[in-house]
């Protein structure tokens, strides 16, 4: 008869194995879930910044078609106003807009360059990961007054 060794019974006992596996895997799953959430929110902000740029371009072109010539400062204010209202609801402190007039080389046209920058909010204070700043540059070409 073979003597019984006490450690063999310990290795055969499976009580609590699921709890230990959960304790080992839970942090990894939670970090992955937060990462997916952060990427999703970042992509939403990225698409919103692009949409704001296109909305500002559309607004400016329509105003020029109605013979309402706009200055770069006015276009900048339109960008802030569109960014603050629904559906975007961006925080004004994290949204930056700049409009500069550029030469076009085309007679009868004026070109503005709109640059929007937005710093997304940090959602995970635990991980201390700051998402990168989103920047969108949009050309706005409008007719000059005849």
Which structure tokens are listed for 33?
């879930």
- Coil, strand, or helix at residue 98? strand
Tally DSSP H helices, then E strands, for the chain. 3, 3
pLDDT < 50 regions, the chain? none
pLDDT of amino acid 106: 86
Answer yes or no: are the C-beta atoms of 95 and 77 closer than 8 Å: no
Burial 44-59 (b: 16+ CB within 10 A, else e): ebbebbeebbebbbeb
Cβ atoms 38, 123 nearer than 8 A: yes
Share of the chain above pLDDT 90, in %: 58
What pLDDT was estimated at residue 4?
Answer: 64
pLDDT of residue 22: 87
**pLDDT computed for residue 35 by the predictor:** 84
Among 75, 76, 69, smallest CA distance to 144 is for: 69
Question: What's the pLDDT score for residue 104?
Answer: 86
Amino acid 12: pLDDT? 67
């Amino acid at each position: 008869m073979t003597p019984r060794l006490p450690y063999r019974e310990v290795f055969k006992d499976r009580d609590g194995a699921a709890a230990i596996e959960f304790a080992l895997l839970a942090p990894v799953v939670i970090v992955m879930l937060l990462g997916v959430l952060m990427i999703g929110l970042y992509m939403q902000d990225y698409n919103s910044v692009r949409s704001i740029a296109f909305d500002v371009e559309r607004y400016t072109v329509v105003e020029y078609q109605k013979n309402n010539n706009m200055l770069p400062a006015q276009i900048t204010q339109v960008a802030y106003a569109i960014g603050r209202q629904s559906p975007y609801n961006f925080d004004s402190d994290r949204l930056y807009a700049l409009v500069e007039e550029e030469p076009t080389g085309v007679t009868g046209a004026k070109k503005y360059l709109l640059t929007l920058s937005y710093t997304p909010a940090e959602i995970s204070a635990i991980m201390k990961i700051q998402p990168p700043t989103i920047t969108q540059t949009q050309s706005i070409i409008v007719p000059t007054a005849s």
